[in-house]
């Protein structure tokens, strides 16, 4: 069976060190071990890397060290990704203020990832966004993509 193509947004990586939410941090670290073991094909985008650069030290260096522990593919933000992000806004799923989140979704959809993994419940892991992305992928002829929080991916392994 082929490995799932898993897209990570910045929230997943930052929760490796998020001590104020120990349950999420524990789930993220458990998932990270699976990434280290190569159980999934991991993808992130240049948006993820740019957002990580905004972190203050020493967190930024620690997160980069964590990323260096796993194999991943970096996806560029192409014209197609930007067009998909704009469709998400045009359809009223998210607003221009959340353009980076739209680019995360666009990068994952355009590059045919199986799922987006995120702790961002406000903009990504919620019914409105999930239904909207499903509608866009169907309408535009793209492969359907799942949107899950890390705990859901862990549960699928049990």
Helix (H, G, I), strand (E, B) or coil at 104: helix
Give the pLDDT of residue 158.
Answer: 61
Beta strands in the chain (DSSP E): 5-8, 41-45, 73-75, 115-117, 146-148
Give the pLDDT of residue 139.
Answer: 94
Q: Is the dihedral of CA 24, 21, 119, 148 positive or negative?
A: positive
**Residues linked to residue 6 through DSSP beta bridges, in sequence order:** 42, 115
Average pLDDT of the chain is 95
Average pLDDT over residues 68-83: 98
Give the pLDDT of residue 37.
Answer: 95
d(CA 104, CA 11): 11
| Model pTM score | 0.95
Helix (H, G, I), strand (E, B) or coil at 77: coil
What is the percent of the chain with per-residue pLDDT over 90, rounded to a whole number?
93
Per-residue model confidence as pLDDT tens digits over 84-137 = 999 999 999 999 999 999 999 999 999 999 999 999 999 999 999 999 999 999
Give the pLDDT of residue 143.
Answer: 96
Q: Are 84 and 112 in contact (CB under 8 A)?
A: no
- Residue-by-residue DSSP string for 34-50: HHHTT-SEEEEEHHHHH
pLDDT > 80? residue 1 = no
Instruction: Identify the band that residue 153 occupies on the pLDDT scale cut at 50, 70 and 90.
Output: confident
Q: Report DSSP state, residue 119.
A: -
Average pLDDT over residues 135-157: 92
Give the pLDDT of residue 12.
Answer: 96
Which residues neighbour 146 within 8 Å (Cβ) at sequence distance 6 or greater?
A: 114, 115, 116
Q: Are 96 and 82 in contact (CB under 8 A)?
A: no
Per-residue model confidence as pLDDT tens digits over 31-42 = 999 999 999 999
Beta strands in 41-155 (DSSP E): 41-45, 73-75, 115-117, 146-148
């Amino acid at each position: 069976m082929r490995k799932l193509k898993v897209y990570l947004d910045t929230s997943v990586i930052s929760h490796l060190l998020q001590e104020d939410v120990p349950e999420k941090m524990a789930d993220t670290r458990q998932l990270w071990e699976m990434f280290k073991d190569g159980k999934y094909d991991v993808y992130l985008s240049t948006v993820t890397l740019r957002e990580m650069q905004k972190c203050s030290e020493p967190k930024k260096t620690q997160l980069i060290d964590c990323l260096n522990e796993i194999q991943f593919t970096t996806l560029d933000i192409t014209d197609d990704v930007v067009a998909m992000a704009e469709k998400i806004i045009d359809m009223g799923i998210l607003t221009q203020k959340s353009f980076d989140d739209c680019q995360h979704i666009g990068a994952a959809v355009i590059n045919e990832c199986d799922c987006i993994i995120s702790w961002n419940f406000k903009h990504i892991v919620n019914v409105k966004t999930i239904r909207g992305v499903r509608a866009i992928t169907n309408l535009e002829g793209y492969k359907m993509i799942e949107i899950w929080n890390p705990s859901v991916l862990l549960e699928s392994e049990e």
